[in-house]
Amino acid sequence: MSARKGLFSYGRVGLTLTFQYEVGQRIIAPVMSHMRCRLSVMCQNLCKVEHRFVINGSSFTPPPAVDVSLVRFTPLIEPRIQLPFNVIEKFVRHLFHHRNKYIRFNVGTLFPKDLKPLVGEVFEKADIDPELRCTMLSVEEIGRLCTVYHDMCDDNMGLFEYDYRARTKLPKVVSAMFVD
């Protein structure tokens, strides 16, 4: 859907899909909901999502042990966050990785140790309080944070490729740009 290929190359093709009840609730979860997650943000960035109704699990053969949600996806004319999908996906993945921590910690995982001062700049430029938790942010606020991060990736070669779990350092060329 984000690449506008295949079925979605013809325009705004709506989808009506069934999901396990809890997954459907996560997809439509509003700001401040304990169900809000990465899936919520990624779906709501690309589509208007609506929970239509619940189908009792006993309506199926064989009957599953859970109920089913019917969710309607109506693609937006333009995504709410106007950035490449891989940038949004990486940022939102990091943002929700430690969902009970302040977003300052989560965004900090996107930066190597020598570039940690940039974390404060992200919040300053996006005008977002770093003491919030990820479930408190709207798609638009996440978009502002993503945009600042994307701009920093453009300015700092190799930053987008950094993975804090890999325990690798940025190339010396990049690190040298930040040493006085």
Per-position DSSP letters for 111-123, written without gaps between them: S-GGGTHHHHHHH
Say what the alpha-carbon torsion angle 18, 23, 27, 30 is, to the nearest 10 degrees.
130
6-75 carries CATH number 3.40.50.150: yes
pLDDT category of residue 6 using cuts at 50, 70 and 90:
confident
Average pLDDT of the residues in 36-48 = 97
Asked if 96 and 38 count as a contact pair (C-beta separation under 8 A), the reply is yes
pLDDT category of residue 177 using cuts at 50, 70 and 90:
low
The first and second tokens of residue 130, run together, are 């770093």
pLDDT digits 0-9 by tens, 119-163: 999 999 999 999 999 999 999 999 999 999 999 999 999 999 999
Average pLDDT of the residues in 46-75 = 94
pLDDT digits 0-9 by tens, 63-73: 889 999 999 99
Please say if the pLDDT value at position 180 is more than 50.
no
Cα–Cα dist 142/101, whole Å: 16
Percent of the chain with pLDDT over 90: 76
Task: Assign domain 85-161 to its CATH architecture.
Answer: Orthogonal Bundle (1.10)
Nearest residue to 29 (alpha-carbon basis) of 163, 137, 124: 137
The domain ranges of the chain are 6-75, 85-161
Q: Looking at per-residue confidence, does 74 or 2 come out higher?
A: 74
Average pLDDT of the residues in 35-49 = 97
Q: What is the CA radius of gyration of the chain?
A: 19
Average pLDDT of the residues in 21-25 = 97
pLDDT digits 0-9 by tens, 64-122: 899 999 999 999 989 999 999 999 999 999 999 999 999 999 999 999 999 999 999 99
Lowest mean pLDDT: which of 15-19, 37-41, 163-167?
163-167
Cα–Cα dist 19/64, whole Å: 12
Rounded to 5 degrees, what are φ and ψ at 140?
-65, -40
**Residue 35 annotated as lining a ligand binding site:** no
Cα–Cα dist 179/29, whole Å: 43
Buried b / exposed e over 36-70, threshold 16 CB at 10 Å, is: bbbbbbbbbbbbebeeeeeeeeeeeeeeeeeebbe
